[in-house]
Amino acid sequence: MVFFKIISSKFLFTSLWLISLFMLINTCDDIISPLSAYDAQAHSWAMPANAVIDADMTVSKATFSPDESQLCLVLETDDKQILTVVKTGKNSMKRTEWETPLPVHSIIFSPDSHHLFTGHKDGSVRRWNTNTGKPDKKWTIHDKPITALVVTHTGERLIAGTGEGTIVIWSLTLNKQLDKLPEHQQIYDTGVFALTISPDEKSRVSGGGDNNIRLWNLHTGQQEHLFVGHTQPVRTLAFSSDGSRLASGGDDHVIQLFDVKKGTSFHSYIVHSAPLQLVKFYDNDSKLLSYDTNKLLGTFDIETLTVLRLYKERELQTVSPATSQIVLLDEHPKPTAQTLRISTLPYGLICYPTDTEQKQARQRVAELTGFADPIKTGILGFFTELWDTNNTKLLDQFFLAGIARQKTSTGTILHLAAEYGWPDLARAGHHCGTDVETRNSLGMTALHMAASTGQASVLEVLLEMGANLNAQLEDGRTALDLAQEADRHKIKTLLEKANASHNSKIENR
């Protein structure tokens, strides 16, 4: 059985501190810049956050559907495997689960997200209906394990990599094999370990035990490029969204970046000390995410070819197609169970740090500000200065240190955003788990604050977050009452459109 819950945690802030401290921070150039969520052009948090899944079995595999509305988990014990499909809604999650007859070696959703394909040890592929949890098709396409699966965007072809090192192209419409190619066959470590299709569906790329990456024309069946550079098997591949670049990761601990048109490598990142499990472009292809078997997660700037951050001791399960959601493993009280957190980039990383990361970040902030204990002192006061000036030197340190989770009489990060008109800060607070209904010492929610100050852009974000439209102050006034009293016409229009109400008991509005 898998249990689900939606969590939220309160994030807090205090009043402004001295600008001299802010000037001190600006002089510190040795801090690694955080992810691009702090770049003015790159604020984007469109997906729901902070969902938590408690599983009473070990999670061996996970993948998102193309529309990101579903997450498939492969749960296993010593004697069985369970497929669980989690369907997410705005404020709820539903699941379908069923036992698989054979060990699952690979999984992928259909392009329309209605079916799930699983590759098995006996060389078979099954197609499951995600609504009923029942298989409706089975194909035996090889006699070796199916180690990688891809379905073309049209849904007409299935491309399977095998433990033998061959690629099988199967027609789902004609129900027959179209081609079989011996691509990655070696005496040792034979197998196809990575498989992907270009966004325009003209090319197919595979990586495997021969240490090479091969790009084939899907229409002509001809090999167009042989990408070399890895000295050990290739485990993961990813195209940029325009198909012009290809990233790869291997057992040699190296990340390679290739120019697809030229067929050549233009950069290598050698920062990992263990085999790579995942590489993925994100933030409009300007950045790259990587993950290895030692639980080190890296982020890189593709334009400047620099390392942004390295996150240690993170257990990453999967990343959504648009790289807007990540699934991380958290600790669970039961040794045989696991907890998965579905969160967003970058806040899934910096809002939920490991104990070591949090301790190091607090020490760093203390060194820069002169306060021995940043949490007790409440130095989030100049967080407003950092955000307002887009200071990329210390913002992630504040989140990692947990300072942004403080609460004072003035409220939470959401109140701060509502007062100063920072919708991106409101989104950041939301994706870090801030409770939208938290009240300050005046009894105001962030929605009350936005209505009172006239910050329409923040109010719209709060409405997206599901803020209570008709929450009342101690005297009974609602956000709509505050907007009308302050003569905030735009706020009033937005609230009325969302079906907010006045408190009819209040006289002389």
| DSSP secondary structure of 148-205 | EEEE-TTSSEEEEEETTSEEEEEETTTTEEEEEEE-S--SSS-SEEEEEE-TTSSEEE
Residues 296 and 416 in one domain: no
162 — pLDDT class (breaks 50, 70, 90): confident
Q: Mean pLDDT, the chain, as a whole number?
A: 79
Average pLDDT for 382-408 = 63
Residues 389 and 279 in one domain: no
Provide the token pair at 495. 């609230």
Residues 365 and 301 in one domain: no
Domain range for 401: 358-497
* E strand residue ranges, 303-418: 306-311, 315-319, 325-330, 338-344
What are the phi and psi torsion angles at 397 (to 5°)?
A: -65, -35
Average pLDDT for 250-276 = 93
d(C-alpha 155, C-alpha 153), whole Å: 5
Residues 308 and 362 in one domain: no
The yes-or-no verdict on residue 253 having pLDDT over 60 is yes
How many structural domains is the chain composed of?
2
Instruction: Give domain status of residue 212, yes or no.
Output: yes
The number of residues making up the chain comes to 509
d(C-alpha 45, C-alpha 355), whole Å: 25
Residue 23 or 278, more confident: 278
Q: Write down which residue in 291, 313, 335 finishes a domain.
A: 313
Residues 416 and 483 in one domain: yes
Among residues of the chain, what percentage have pLDDT more than 90? 34
Provide the token pair at 283. 């933030």
Q: Write down which residue in 313, 346, 371 finishes a domain.
A: 313
Instruction: Give domain status of residue 337, yes or no.
Output: no
Instruction: Give domain status of residue 465, yes or no.
Output: yes
Residue 190 or 79, more confident: 79
Angle at which helices 489-497 and 446-453 cross, to 10°: 140
Look at residues 286, 298, 188, 307 and name the one whose alpha carbon lies nearest to residue 236.
298
Which residues are 306's β-sheet partners? 301
d(C-alpha 125, C-alpha 136), whole Å: 11
β-pairing, 245-250 with 234-239? Answer: antiparallel
β-pairing, 124-129 with 115-120? Answer: antiparallel
Residues 396 and 480 in one domain: yes
Specify the CATH number for the domain of residue 441. 1.25.40.20
Residues 453 and 377 in one domain: yes
Residues 378 and 491 in one domain: yes
Residues 284 and 362 in one domain: no
Residues 374 and 489 in one domain: yes
pLDDT tens column, 443-466:
999 999 999 999 999 999 999 888
Residues 286 and 220 in one domain: yes
pLDDT tens column, 196-247:
999 998 999 999 888 999 998 888 888 889 999 999 999 999 999 999 999 9
pLDDT tens column, 91-141:
566 778 888 888 899 999 999 999 999 999 999 999 999 888 888 899 998
Give, in order, the Cα–Cα distances in Å from 293 to each of 232, 272, 289, 314, 318: 15, 9, 14, 10, 13
Instruction: Give domain status of residue 460, yes or no.
Output: yes
SS3 of the chain: helix, strand, coil, percent, to 5: 20, 35, 45
Instruction: Give domain status of residue 64, yes or no.
Output: no
SS (HEC) of 226-263: EECCCCCCEEEEEECCCCCEEEEEECCCCEEEEECCCC
Instruction: Give domain status of residue 453, yes or no.
Output: yes
Q: Are 469 and 498 within 8 A, CB to CB? A: yes
The yes-or-no verdict on residue 354 having pLDDT over 70 is yes
Instruction: Give domain status of residue 508, yes or no.
Output: no
Residues 308 and 380 in one domain: no
Instruction: Give domain status of residue 369, yes or no.
Output: yes
Specify the CATH number for the domain of residue 245. 2.130.10.10
State the amino acid at position 315 in one-letter form.
E
25 — pLDDT class (breaks 50, 70, 90): very low
**What is the rounded end-to-end Cα distance, in angstroms, of the chain?**
54
